[in-house]
Every structure is written in structure tokens, then in C-alpha cells.
Amino acid sequence: MNRDTVNILCKLFDLDEKVVKFVHSKEKLICNKFEEIDQIKEYNQYKVINSMQEAKLSSTDFNWTTGYGYGDIGRDKVEEIYASVFNTEDALVRPTIASGTHAITLTLSGLLRPNDEFISITGSPYDTLQKVIGVKGDREGTLLDYGIKYKEIPLKDGEINIEEVLNNISRNTKLLLIQRSTGYSDRKAITIDHMKEIIKKIKDKNNDVIIMIDNCYGEFLEKLEPTEVGADIMAGSLIKNPGGGLALSGGYIVGSSKLVEEVANRHTAPGLGKDCGLTFGTTRNTLQGLFLAPHVVSEAVKGALLVGIVYKELGFEIVPEIDDIRSDIIQAVKFNCPDKVVEFCKGIQSASVVDSYVTPIPWEMPGYEDKVIMAAGGFVDGSSIELSADGPMRKPYYAYYQGGLTYEHCKLGVMKTLNNLYTKKLIKKLS
């Protein structure tokens, strides 16, 4: 790092020079990992370009219609391109899907009928989904309330417990849910290789059961996506990885035609399915974001590695480890202390471009059981492919870091977190 850069960082961002130099010295330890990340980026970039060309994307696809939205060509192109990128028969991609939780909820409620059972085979699902299912919070309107049966099978040593899964599949088991990303837990993301092996074992024994993936934060981390190793249907958020920071809102569902149709019928109405629904002029952002997504994801992954190495070198436990295969963009740091989580998140907020001057505090976010602190100063509100961090206020006090549209921004974020912890004396020594 040259002198000019050190100077501008210290001068413009109020950073202690020791912090800047510390982060820079640790960066050197991960540079050798960047080549592999770049290879995955390059591969996925070509995949996306090809899908857009194959769909004959044209400038008129960025126009939009009104009313029912019949014949919204741009919307249909977006869905064709998503299906192609994720190698599935069909896709539902809509700005009216409010979030990842909504996309997953639509998928579950579109596919499951009363008395059907579904099993989460990666342990407890993401916080907001527990309320959707009905295992936390009010029962009214939840899947359990609709007579759907639910079980979960915890991971064993961080991996799917295949024996238990196979023993638990019964005649009523309609669907198995795999959450790829760590969520607010202390486990690693499920890798594509592991998924492939598990799905094969399940399908060999029971070919009818639907394998569904919560792919939030997983897109473009590896060369293959879960739907390319046997998953039947998958859902995610456009304000995470595949939106590339440009999508304004939305969610996607990709999978076989039959399953996507059932989900589309739930999204609009039976009989209407995918044929209705406006895109409100969002197709340009959605697709330009998808075009940039492999690149943006690679920047975010490099940022996650930097957070990982810096805090590991300071003696904190991190998940995943530096040498683990990354299958999501999250870097968790175990702080064992609420103040450190708060100061870490304040650091990320202060590095943001939007709302850098506000101070995040833990609050009762809708859908979450514990208070959560969120640092999110994105161009798109709540977008966590942009530089962001959060942590539920519960033991053992993990901070979860993710996103960053450019690696430089990630680096500034890391420096701001460390500067905060250091000047507040929550970290004594930088060595």
C-alpha cells in the first residue's frame, strides 16, 4: 500500500495509521486466494453473457406495460434468462416478490398441501422462516396453521445427516429444504459438492421428494448452482447476490416448469400464474445487476476473506475458516460480547456511502425473535450485497459481515470496524 493511500485513508476517514497498516499487512496473507475467486467469477460471467445472448435480449425489453401486464416481453425475458443461468426449465422473477423470505414462503406454500410434510434437513431454518412455518411467533396463517407438517433434522458435524434424513422420509414427505447459507448460525455454508452427494443419495432412494434450496447469498459462489446438481427448485433474493447491487427489489424462484407454475399460481392466482404482473420498468436494473453479479460477488468474497483474516489474526474465531470452500458471501466473527458486535456494525455503517452518519442500534426487526443490529447504508435500502453487517443480540454474539460492491469499499469497511474496536479499547493490541 503506498504512502498516498495510507495518508488519504487516515486523513479522510479518521483512521489510526496502525489500523490501516495492520489491515494491509493481513491482506497479504490472503492475496493467493484471489486467483481462484477470479476464476469462478470469469466462468460465471460468461455463463450470464451467454444466457442474455441466447434469449436475444433487446433494448425494447426494458420497456414496460400497464394493467394486467399481459405480454410483458421484458418480464418474460428476465425469467427466460434466469432459467438459463440457473439451468432450469423455468423461472419466476418479480419485483413484487418483496424479499427472500417472501420468495421462500411462496415456494413452500405453492408446493405444499394440507397433511404434506416437509423437512428442513439443514437444522433450524433462517430466523424469518421460523415464523413463516409457525415454530416461532403466532400460529395464525403459518404453514402449520394450514395443516402442513414440519420436521427438522440438525446437521451433524456441520454436514447433512444423510442417515437420519433417509430414515425420516415417509409417504407424506413432500419436500426437503436445504438452506445453503449459514444464516444466523455458527455453521459453514453447504458446498455444492456436498449438496450433490446428498441429493443423489436421496433421489436414489426416493425420487419423488422435492429438493428445495434456500439459495440466499449463495449465487455465483461456485461454478455450479444447486439446480445443476439435482435440486428441483430454488429461491433467493434480488437484493442479495444475483441483483448485483442494481436490482431495486424482488425475488426469484427457478426450477422445473411444473413446480414453478405451482408457485406462480400462488403468487398471482391459479389460472393466471406467470402471465400477469407488472415489472414497473425494473427489467433494466434487474438484468444489468445480473450481468454485474458475478463480478460483484467476487469483490464481496474477497472482502469477506479480508474480514476473516484480520479478526482471525486478532485471535477471534471465524466461520468459515480462511481455507474453507466458500459457498456463501458471509463471514461470521465470534465476538462473545455484545459491545464488540455493536462497534463492529457501527464501523461498517460509518464506511457506507449512504447514511454513513447514522448510528445503528439493536432493534426489534419484524420477523426476528431477538433484537438485531444492522449496518446497512446501501444505495438500495436493505440490500445486503452492498457493504453490510448484522448480528442478533444473542449468545455467543456473532457479527455477520457480507457484501461490498467493490473490494476497496470492503477494505475501508474492515478498517472502520477495527478502528472502532481499537479506539474504544475493545481490542488492546494490534499484532
Ligand X SMILES: *Cc1c(COP(=O)(O)O)cnc(C)c1O
What whole-number distance in Å separates Cα of residue 179 and Cα of residue 231?
12
What whole-number distance in Å separates Cα of residue 31 and Cα of residue 52?
32
CB-wise, 57 or 108, nearer to ligand X?
A: 108
Please state the closest distance from residue 58 (CB atom) to ligand X, in A.
30
Residue 16's CB is within 10 A of a number of other CB atoms, namely 15
Site for ligand X (CB under 6 A): which residue of 100, 110, 308, 404? 100
Phi/psi at 149 (nearest 5 deg)? -95, 145
- Return the H-helix or E-strand segment holding 124: none
Site for ligand X (CB under 6 A): which residue of 107, 161, 179, 268? 179
* Site track 125-164 with ligand X (rule: CB under 6 A), x = hit: -x-x------------------------------------
Taking CB under 6 A as the rule, does residue 217 contact ligand X?
yes
- Stretch of 18-26, 96-104, 357-365, 415-423 contacting ligand X, by CB under 6 A: 96-104
- Stretch of 27-35, 144-152, 178-186, 303-311 contacting ligand X, by CB under 6 A: 178-186
Question: Which of positions 180-199 make contact with ligand X (CB under 6 A)?
Answer: 181, 183
- Stretch of 11-19, 73-81, 95-103, 140-148 contacting ligand X, by CB under 6 A: 95-103
Site for ligand X (CB under 6 A): which residue of 61, 72, 116, 214? 214
CB-wise, 179 or 349, nearer to ligand X?
A: 179
Q: Is 6 helix (H, G, I), strand (E, B) or coil?
A: helix
Taking CB under 6 A as the rule, does residue 401 contact ligand X?
no
What whole-number distance in Å separates Cα of residue 414 and Cα of residue 351?
9
Please state the closest distance from residue 180 (CB atom) to ligand X, in A.
7
Contact 45, 37 (CB under 8 A): no
* Site track 67-86 with ligand X (rule: CB under 6 A), x = hit: --------------------
Site for ligand X (CB under 6 A): which residue of 44, 130, 142, 237? 237
Which amino acid, 158? Answer: G
Compute CA distances 9 → 14, 26, 57, whole Å: 7, 17, 42
Contact 246, 386 (CB under 8 A): no
CB-wise, 101 or 279, nearer to ligand X?
A: 101
Closest residue to bound ligand X by CB: 100
Which amino acid, 104? Answer: I
Please state the closest distance from residue 352 (CB atom) to ligand X, in A.
18
- Grid cell 433417509 is found at 166
Contact 126, 164 (CB under 8 A): no
Tell me, by CB under 6 A, how many residues bind ligand X.
12
For residue 95, is the peptide bond before it cis, meaning its omega torsion is within 30 degrees of 0? no
Question: Which of positions 337-376 make contact with ligand X (CB under 6 A)?
Answer: none
- Stretch of 5-13, 20-28, 61-69, 175-183 contacting ligand X, by CB under 6 A: 175-183
What whole-number distance in Å separates Cα of residue 376 and Cα of residue 44?
27
Residue 242 carries which DSSP code?
G
Taking CB under 6 A as the rule, does residue 99 contact ligand X?
yes
Please state the closest distance from residue 126 (CB atom) to ligand X, in A.
4
Residues 6+ positions from 156 with CB-CB distance below 8 Å: 164
Site for ligand X (CB under 6 A): which residue of 20, 37, 78, 216? 216
Selection from 188, 194, 190 nearest residue 214 by Cα: 190
Supply 385's cell numbers. Answer: 450485497
- Stretch of 66-74, 85-93, 94-102, 195-203 contacting ligand X, by CB under 6 A: 94-102
Please state the closest distance from residue 47 (CB atom) to ligand X, in A.
23
Selection from 225, 213, 249 nearest residue 94 by Cα: 249
Question: Which of positions 110-129 make contact with ligand X (CB under 6 A)?
Answer: 126, 128
Residues 6+ positions from 424 with CB-CB distance below 8 Å: 339, 343
Chain positions contacting ligand X, by CB under 6 A: 99-101, 126, 128, 179, 181, 183, 214, 216-217, 237
